[in-house]
Amino acid sequence: MQLSESNSADAGDFVGLLRRSGALRDQKHLEGHLPPLGGQPPVLETQATTVLAFKFSDGVLVAGDRRATAGNVVMYDRADKVLEIDRHSVMAIAGSPATAWEMARVLEHSFQFYRRSQLQEMSVEGKVRALSKLLRDNLGMVLQGVGVVVPIFATYDYGAEDPAKVFFYDAMGAQFEATDFAASGSGGPSVRSILYYENAWGKTQLRDLDQKGAITIALRALDTAAEADTATGGIDRQGKIFPIVKIVNQNGITTVPDDVLSSLFQTALSPS
């Protein structure tokens, strides 16, 4: 370990610090090792799929299935794609876990580093942009078709009139704020259709759902996505593997425990 001094120009910039210290490298070392544009990726990449987030009466619900695949192989059936970044922020990932988990790690440390060094919390815009910057830094990889990540970022902004916030991104780092819901991953399109349908023509709009209702919709959406998409785990009844469901509100982040999911699941997926 060696001491290095900071100056005010890059104060609070953890990514910059990691670059200087060599802990984080840009992708120059990969040059010449990646396939030409449009070619086959050199490795069979592990992919994680189907995450969703929507606003309901008590904050934001973020959920993701548990399956990670590489080609047609199931790599892992207990993957956690809904990652807590700080006390009020959650990042849900679809795409390459190798890149996504590292991004989550960088983000988590960046926000803490900023808070500790600058003695104030980073603004929500700042946090949203930090993720956008990481995605853009990954552009070189994306163009080669490796390490693509398409995340959803959900947070609770105390100062705002509408404090529950959901942002989604494209692989190049463009950020979009969702009014009501967002979905990503290979099962994303079907989840999106369901959430749109529920919101527009369902009995209750997503915003007005209570917690139980919200979890039910999330379970149903993931189950439906798994029906037609082999890369989505859905709900494993035998293995008792349930999706990860987290709720972000003024009290911070709560993970819905498996037994609650299990009992809701009994009613949620039986015809009403």
Residues lying near another protein in the complex (CB under 8 A)? 1-6, 14, 17-18, 21, 23, 87, 105-106, 109, 112-113, 116-117, 119
User: Which residue, 23 or 174, is less far from another protein as judged by CB?
Assistant: 23
Task: State yes or no: is 230 an active-site residue.
Answer: no
**H-helix or E-strand spanning residue 59:** strand 59-64
Instruction: Give the span between the Cα atoms of 26 and 242, in whole angstroms.
Output: 36
Smallest gap from Cβ 119 to another protein, in A, equals 8
Smallest gap from Cβ 103 to another protein, in A, equals 12
User: Which residue, 54 or 114, is less far from another protein as judged by CB?
Assistant: 114
User: Which residue, 21 or 267, is less far from another protein as judged by CB?
Assistant: 21
The residues near 257 (Cβ < 8 Å, ≥ 6 apart) are none
Smallest gap from Cβ 13 to another protein, in A, equals 11
Residue 105 Cα to chain centre, angstroms = 12
User: Which residue, 3 or 37, is less far from another protein as judged by CB?
Assistant: 3
Q: Computed over its alpha carbons, how large is the radius of gyration of the chain? A: 19
Smallest gap from Cβ 6 to another protein, in A, equals 5
- Out of 46, 49, 155, 232, pick the active-site residue: 49
Find the helix packing angle between 124-137 and 14-21, rounded to 10°. 40
Nearest one of 158, 157, 207, 194 to 50, comparing CA atoms: 194
Tell me whether residue 5 is exposed, middle or buried, using C-beta atoms within 10 angstroms of its C-beta: 0 to 12, 13 to 18, 19 or more: exposed
- Enumerate the active-site residues: 49
